[in-house]
Structure 1
Amino acid sequence: MADSVSLIQEQYKKMLQSYIEEKNEQGLYHAQQFSKKVLENQISPEEVVSLHLEVVEEFYPDLPDGATDSFEFLLEVMMGYGLAYREHQSLRDKQRELEQEINVAASMQQTFLPKEIPGVDSMDIGVISVPASKMSGDYYHFVKDENGCIGLAIADIIGKGVPAALCMSMIKYAMDSLPEQRLQPGALLENLNRVVEQNVASNMFITMMYGSYDPRVHHFYYSGAGHEPGFYYDSAADNFEELYAKGLVLGIKRDTTFREYHKKVELGDFIVLLSDGVTECRTEHGFIERDEITSLIRKYKHLSAQEIVNNIFYELEKIQGFQLRDDFTLIILRRKV
């Protein structure tokens, strides 16, 4: 290391002497390239100033005291700058490490979401879920049983980043571990609530709506845990009503029970489940109204379920200047037979 520094000092001396004698742009270019070697060898700014002073004093032994004193002053300034710069570099390195960890967690988080939507002959299903940043606090889940019944969940984890991803993994595996109750909304939420209450920090909560659609009788059974109300569209009356399911947020109280509701789904009717990132879209005039969401759904209801959710996302993203402020998840299930 000492030999390397000596070589750098000698190279600097030659470069400076050449520039003083010739004063050309080539010398300035060499100086820029030299700065890379300085960084590679972890030479501090104050060491560069000290080196410069030594070389200048060698070239100009009769340098006025004022000029020498100015270099001493600059050296003190650079010592403070060097400390701040090294601290800045350390923070940048830590930030890069954190970003890499977040990228890994974000990739892992994607594996928790369904790779495909279960096929049901009588149902047209559309889903879109877009995070506002790399990590999402929204979660959705589909499962199909041996009778062709579809179970689906939509959840919002109050919290973001890596803790939300870890919480999401717990929710997924807890749901997967309850096969015998997975299509019974009230019982499933009660089991999940106990898991969340025992394993999640007191400052983290999860809202969820879970529903089960039975294509044999065309009934939709559902329960809610403090989640954003969805919508039910009655095609015959061309009317929307709120799909509200009263229930305490998961993780608040261990022995919470969840009421189960149900709807008879007629031909052409559809169910809309969503996260608050849909209903709390903000424009320059404030939050949009829920009526605006139903107006958009009505505008595109002639399309397939997937086309409906895609178009609604585009419209709401557009009015926010294509900058999501919250995670966006929208699910539509429409009876087609």
Structure 2
Amino acid sequence: MKKVKNQKIYQKILDKYIKVNDEQSLYRGQQFSRQLIEEGVSPEEVVNLHVKSLLELYPNLNTEMKRSFKFLLEVMMDYGIAYREHQSLKDKQQQLNMEIELAARMQQRLLSKGVPTIVSLDIGAISKPASQLNGDYYHFVYDESGFVSMTVADVIGKGIPATLCMSMIRYAMDSLSVATMKPSAVLENLNRVVERNIDDSMFITMFYGLYDLNQNHFFYASAGHERGFIYRQKTNKFEELTAKGLVLGVKKDTKYNDYVTSLEMGDMIILLSDGVTECRLNDRFIERHEIVNLIRKYQHLPAQQIVDEVYQELVRMQNFELKDDVTLIILRRQV
């Protein structure tokens, strides 16, 4: 019944416009089209209204014109189907984007990245995602008994699953008394959590360090994470901060090794994710000595300014488009 009514209304508007050719008739047609949209009338149905109206108003149209109407109807039927599919995909993509944006905001709240203020240490940290969600994670815990723990992790995977993994790691660490545990024990505990709770296709690399403020010793262990550096002010040289270990989540009974080094005045620990070492310069990856040169360029600055400036350099090298999440941490003994 509504189709018949719409047909009559449209025919009347069309007839007046053809005869008078005025703006008022055109405006009425535009307003009527909005009404049809609200009623859920498809584009091909509107064309059908037009064709039927014309044939009733001008029944003596020639055969070629009638064939052209048939052709137009067939084209618009396929167009209507494709349009609705396209619109459905757009709606789904918009919903997904909203969910990702919400997940990113939740991630920022859940994975707080505060840097402790300690008189004897100068600490700088930056972590930037290549997209909305960050697959990298860093975390500091300052224990008043004289220990500072630091974690850098990278999920081998992207998107919302990576975000959920990082949240799990954060809360698993909160449940451990990390200030009293060896780095190897922390990784072994986390490895069991990861192996039980994440998909077999996902793994996590992690570097965990514990700095003893009383003895100026740095204890650390690694689960397949990107090698960092240690800078020795006395020799003005950068050394590899090497530590071996299997990524988290492969084998539940994996054991990790503890390493230790001492820091003298002006020495720096540099931790990073593979988003730094896999920064692309045209058709190649950045070399590790080039990363060192970037740090040298700004090492006269406070630690936070160093990591900020190095990050900006990495972004410029990649034409302001990150290919991977980037995390960089510098810890410098200053007393």
TM-score (norm 1): 0.94
2:233 matched to which residue of 1?
Answer: 235
Deviation at 1:97, TM superposition (A): 1.4
| Partner amino acid, structure 1, of 2:241 | L
Give the root-mean-square deviation of aligned CA atoms: 1.8
* Alignment match of 1:92 (pick from 87, 90, 98): 90
Question: Conserved in 2, the CA contact under 8 Å of 1:232 and 1:272?
Answer: yes
Question: How many angstroms apart in 2 are the aligned matches of 1:224 and 1:169?
Answer: 20
1:174 matched to which residue of 2?
Answer: 172
Tell me: CA distance 1:8–1:236, structure 2 relative to 1, closer, same or farther (3 Å): farther
1:20 matched to which residue of 2?
Answer: 18
For residues 131-182 of structure 1, the C-alpha deviation after alignment (integer angstroms, 9 at most, x for no partner) is 0001111011111113131101000000001100111111011100112566
Structure 1 range deviating more: 61-70 or 96-105: 61-70
2:132 matched to which residue of 1?
Answer: 134
For residues 8-33 of structure 1, the C-alpha deviation after alignment (integer angstroms, 9 at most, x for no partner) is 54443344234323445666566555
1:143 matched to which residue of 2?
Answer: 141
For structure 1, list consecutive stretches of 5 or more residues without a partner in the other structure: none
Structure 1 range deviating more: 201-210 or 112-121: 112-121
Question: How many angstroms apart in 1 are the aligned matches of 2:294 and 2:114?
Answer: 26
Question: How many angstroms apart in 2 are the aligned matches of 1:292 and 1:26?
Answer: 70
For residues 35-94 of structure 1, the C-alpha deviation after alignment (integer angstroms, 9 at most, x for no partner) is 443333221122111100111112212112322222122212211111111111111111
Query: Number of residue pairs matched?
Result: 335
For structure 2, list consecutive stretches of 5 or more residues without a partner in the other structure: none
1:251 matched to which residue of 2?
Answer: 249
Q: Could you say what secondary structure the match of 1:111 adopts?
A: helix
Question: How many angstroms apart in 2 are the aligned matches of 1:178 and 1:186?
Answer: 13
Question: Conserved in 1, the CA contact under 8 Å of 2:128 and 2:327?
Answer: yes
Tell me: CA distance 1:180–1:156, structure 2 relative to 1, closer, same or farther (3 Å): closer
2:285 matched to which residue of 1?
Answer: 287
Question: How many angstroms apart in 2 are the aligned matches of 1:156 and 1:17?
Answer: 68
2:153 matched to which residue of 1?
Answer: 155
Question: How many angstroms apart in 2 are the aligned matches of 1:328 and 1:182?
Answer: 30
Tell me: CA distance 1:12–1:137, structure 2 relative to 1, closer, same or farther (3 Å): same
Identity %: 57
Deviation at 1:116, TM superposition (A): 2.1
TM-score (norm 2): 0.94
Question: How many angstroms apart in 2 are the aligned matches of 1:34 and 1:282?
Answer: 56
1:83 matched to which residue of 2?
Answer: 81
Q: Could you say what secondary structure the match of 1:326 adopts?
A: coil
Question: Conserved in 2, the CA contact under 8 Å of 1:109 and 1:169?
Answer: yes
For residues 288-316 of structure 1, the C-alpha deviation after alignment (integer angstroms, 9 at most, x for no partner) is 10111100101100000000000000111
Counting only pairs closer than 5 Å after superposition, residues 186-335 of structure 1 correspond to structure 2 as 186-335=184-333
| Partner amino acid, structure 2, of 1:77 | V
Tell me: CA distance 1:143–1:7, structure 2 relative to 1, closer, same or farther (3 Å): farther
